[in-house]
Amino acid sequence: MKMVLPTAPGTAPDIIARIIGNKLAATMGQPVIVENKPGAGGILAMNQLRHAPADGYTFSLVHAAVATVTPLTYKEAKYDIERDYETVAVLGVTPMLFVAGPKFEAKTLADAIKAAKAAPDQVSIGNPQRTSIPHLANELLAMKTGARFQQVPFATTGQGVQAVISGDISMYTDGVGPLLQLVKSGRLHALAIAADKVLPGLEGIPLAQDAVPGLNVYGWFMVAAPKGTPKPVVERLNAELNAALQMPDVIAKFGEFGTYATPGSVAAAQAFVKREKTLFGGVVKSIGAIPE
């Protein structure tokens, strides 16, 4: 079996793919080879998967941006995650975390919104890259509240983190993984977590939806197969993945990346992907992002 991956070795999706691949290999009795095919915003891997035989032996671990944003922001991305692939399972979610630096006077998300409304485009909020999921979370925050933040994209998460710690920007948004330890150490202040419920390890961090109803934004990982893969094959793979996602060691390893395992049916995964595609598509359209 082959798992095509649209990211480079050593990235969070790559590590998660190998965790899952090892479990599948053990339970299905055959090796799972992870083939890294990074580049072009994930297009290369998605094209390879789309043209692979629909026999259940080739599938892909796809993260949220590749599934829902790349087709809207790259001219060469001719695929549609629902039209061209079979959704097998959603493996896990990573909620977005809004943090502030020590010099920013706002201590809650409501305070930050108030400050941005009082001084439009003066409260700066960073993200790791334009049209990344964290960036779209920031834009959704602005859309839902009418507050005008100064959006500041960075080339890397590290650069953004340093900027917010030093006070060069007021706020920063990213997944839980790269930020939580900085919050626990006191170098950053957690304003809110964009999850729909309190999650293990995040107790004490306010939910963004309490200040802004419906502000739930996640990065996530899904398994997709070529369109036309037989339903019994999809259901079998879904069942094997669900079994792996409930193993304590998998849950613990996912947690190291701020990711929460989400076992569920094929139908539930399809509904989730449809909702997320609509959500991120609406935000991308609202900011006028033009395919490049």
Question: What's the pLDDT at 289?
Answer: 85
> What residues contact residue 272 under an 8 Å CB cut-off, 6+ apart?
90, 220, 264
Structural domain span for residue 142? 94-211
Domain boundary, last residue among 211, 233, 268: 211
Section 218-237 average pLDDT: 97
Confidence of residue 248 (pLDDT cuts 50, 70, 90): very high
**292 within a domain of the structure (yes/no):** no
Section 198-219 average pLDDT: 97
Look over the chain and give the mean of its residue pLDDT values, rounded to a whole number: 96
How many domains is the chain built from?
A: 2
Question: What's the pLDDT at 270?
Answer: 98
Give the tokens for residue 124. 């700066």
Question: What's the pLDDT at 211?
Answer: 97
Q: Same domain for 119 and 188? A: yes
Q: Same domain for 101 and 154? A: yes
What is d(CA 119, CA 239) in angstroms, rounded to the nearest whole number? Answer: 51
Q: Are 67 and 272 in contact (CB under 8 A)?
A: no
Question: What's the pLDDT at 40?
Answer: 87
Query: What percent of the chain clears pLDDT 70, i.e. is strictly above it?
Result: 100
Backbone angles phi, psi at 117, to 5 degrees: -70, -35
Domain boundary, last residue among 163, 186, 211: 211
Model-level pTM? 0.95
Question: What's the pLDDT at 8?
Answer: 93
**291 within a domain of the structure (yes/no):** no
Which tens digit of pLDDT belongs to each residue from 50-73?
A: 999 999 999 999 999 999 999 999
pLDDT above 90 for 208: yes
Neighbour tally for 62: CB within 10 Å:
29
Residue 138 CB-density burial (10 A; 0-12 exposed, 13-18 middle, 19+ buried):
buried
Coil vs helix vs strand at 68 = helix
Domain boundary, last residue among 211, 238, 270: 211
Section 239-260 average pLDDT: 96
Section 213-239 average pLDDT: 97
DSSP string, 107-127: -SHHHHHHHHHHSTTTSEEEE
Which tens digit of pLDDT belongs to each residue from 74-127?
A: 999 999 999 999 999 999 999 999 999 999 999 999 999 999 999 999 999 999
**130 within a domain of the structure (yes/no):** yes
